[in-house]
Amino acid sequence: MAMDYKSSGVDIEAGYKAVELMKSHIKGTMRPEVLGGIGGFAGAFDLKNIKNMEEPVLLSGTDGCGTKVKLAFLLDKHDTIGIDAVAMCVNDIACSGGEPLFFLDYIACGKNYPEKIAEIVKGVAEGCKQSGAALVGGETAEHPGLMPEDEYDLAGFAVGVVDRKDMIDGSTIKAGDAVIGIASSGVHSNGFSLVRKVFEMTRESLDTYYDELGKTLGEALIEPTVIYVKALKALKDAGIKVKGCSHITGGGFYENIPRMLPEGKHVVVKKDSYEVPAIFKLLAKTGGISEQMMYNTYNMGVGMMLAIDASEAAKAIEIINAAGYKSFTCGSIIDGEKGITIE
């Protein structure tokens, strides 16, 4: 028998078809700076606009969706996991005060099912639209024998820019500053290994409707990560200075909030200042997870936390909410050892 690449498990034709199917989604993310079409060897992006900045600084972020992809396989729903991949990268760029410029995705799969790959990329493109980033390229790698045919992993990489004077670095945070939380949509993309231990990962379990969630468990868990780029942009456009910013990802409050603090400053978070979403209460109750562990693993309903001068807090909340988010004052800065107290 004559050997060819297809008999080894790699289908080049499927690759071509996947690219054709995803083109329409990618088109919607284009920015004027993108040069050339899809299909070149490298994504080209014109930088002439950054000449208007005094000291342009490039920012980059790379991340995946963790074991949340497992949920997409089980639910056979692949059109939002790409939003998560983009969110994890661009939210980190926004945290530094930057504007995401472009994004690249990487999909490794056991077998290339073109329709499924196009669904994944549709989500990536949606995430790019929500953050104003152009999807300038990507890679779909077929890995027969390395992973099961119906499984895949998804990761991404984003590049952004900020003028050095606009960087958010926490250096000007002082006692008395307000801490503002911007609501999350649920679990986002962190802590899924624990979620998968607490709840049975079967179609039946995921399709169970819970009154307190107002939806099925699967729907609540796969809800995509909120992209906070436009919230931060709205504040910048309004001339409100964000002194510090934390993207609440793996490690929850305890690990992420102190990352925005200078030495000698401490955050006090009032946990009754907002309603913790039902999914976290259900998770804690079902798994018998301690409160400390919940706040050390999950975002607990706050995906982004900002430090802002107390005199601008009310206006900041108004602007963030007008941009389509939900925000609230949830704490303040005090003098003390760098860290966080939840009370």
Q: What is the pLDDT of residues 322-331, one digit of tens each?
A: 999 999 999 9
Q: Please give the full DSSP string across 156-188, using - where no structure is assigned.
A: EEEEEEEEGGG---STT--TT-EEEEEE-SSST
Q: Which is more confident, 38 or 295? A: 295
Mean pLDDT of 99-126: 95
pLDDT at position 145, please?
86
pLDDT at position 212, please?
95
Structure tokens at 306: 């900002």
Q: Is residue 61 scored above 70 in pLDDT? A: yes
Q: Is residue 141 scored above 70 in pLDDT? A: yes
- Among 36-45, 253-262, 298-307, the least confident range: 36-45
**H helical segments located in the chain:** 12-27, 68-75, 81-95, 114-131, 192-198, 203-206, 217-222, 229-237, 252-256, 278-287, 291-295, 313-322
B/e letters for 52-90, b = 16+ CB within 10 Å, e = fewer, are: eeeeebebebebbbbbbbbbbebbeebbbbbbbbbbbbb
Q: Which domains does the chain have, with CATH numbers?
A: 12-166 (3.30.1330.10), 178-342 (3.90.650.10)
Q: Which is more confident, 227 or 8? A: 227
